[in-house]
């Protein structure tokens, strides 16, 4: 293995292609969003849903102990990633609002985890919506800077 290939393996661990964003971004924000935060948030958003179709209203909610644990852990993961966004690796060169958004996400994730811990489906739904609002608030400011489109996933996505 050449030194270059080894370096690439250490950094990405995958065959990430050179894909420079139009504006310089801390290299791994996109990776953190797409690879970690969104998958964790989706688990949380998918935990409780009210779906209405031709057969009536269906309620999706955690049923087993494992379901509830998974829901809580998803919120805890979002919280950990939010805390990571507060570290200099992600926060340097950003404004104070970055800090506020990331801290807001960390706080709402902690409450989201509590809602799952106490097994309150309605609360999980409500906190999922609040979580989404924080994601969107930061994206409104920072996605245009990164030249990205807003993500399509959200609590109401099918």
Cα angle 133-50-52, degrees, rounded to a multiple of 5: 125
151 near ligand HEC, rule: CB under 6 A:
yes
Enumerate residues 67-106 that contact ligand HEC by CB under 6 A.
78, 85, 98, 101-102, 105
142 near ligand HEC, rule: CB under 6 A:
yes
In the bound state with ligand HEC, the residue whose beta carbon lies nearer, of 27 and 51, is 27
119 near ligand HEC, rule: CB under 6 A:
no
Q: Tokens in use for 153?
A: 């996933």
Q: What is the C-alpha to C-alpha distance for residues 82 and 62, in angstroms, rounded to an integer?
A: 24
Enumerate residues 24-43 that contact ligand HEC by CB under 6 A.
25, 29-30, 33-34, 37-38, 41
Burial of 112 (0-12, 13-18, 19+ CB in 10 A): buried
List the alpha helices (DSSP H) in the chain. Answer: 3-11, 29-32, 38-47, 65-85, 88-91, 96-117, 121-146
In the bound state with ligand HEC, the residue whose beta carbon lies nearer, of 47 and 131, is 131
Least CB distance to ligand HEC at residue 53 (A): 26
Least CB distance to ligand HEC at residue 55 (A): 30
The residue from 48, 75, 131, 155 that contacts ligand HEC (CB under 6 A) is: 131
**Among 99, 79, 1, CA closest to 36:** 79
Q: What is the C-alpha to C-alpha distance for residues 42 and 124, in angstroms, rounded to an integer?
A: 13
CB count in 10 Å sphere of residue 109: 28
Interface with ligand HEC (CB under 6 A): 21, 25, 29-30, 33-34, 37-38, 41, 78, 85, 98, 101-102, 105, 131, 134-135, 138-139, 142-143, 146, 148-149, 151
């Amino acid at each position: 293995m050449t030194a270059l290939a080894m370096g690439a393996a250490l950094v990405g661990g995958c065959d990430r292609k050179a894909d420079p964003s139009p504006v310089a971004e801390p290299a791994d924000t996109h990776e953190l969003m797409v690879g970690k935060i969104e998958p964790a948030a989706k688990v949380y958003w998918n935990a409780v849903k009210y779906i209405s179709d031709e057969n009536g209203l269906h309620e999706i909610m955690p049923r087993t102990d494992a379901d509830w644990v998974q829901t809580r852990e998803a919120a805890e993961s979002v919280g950990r990633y939010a805390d990571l966004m507060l570290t200099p690796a992600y926060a340097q060169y950003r404004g104070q609002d970055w800090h506020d958004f990331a801290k807001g996400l960390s706080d709402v994730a902690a409450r989201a985890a509590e809602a799952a811990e106490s097994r309150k489906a309605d609360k999980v739904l409500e906190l999922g919506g609040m979580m989404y609002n924080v994601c969107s608030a930061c994206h409104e400011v920072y996605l245009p800077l990164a030249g990205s489109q807003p993500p399509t996933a959200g609590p109401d996505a099918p």
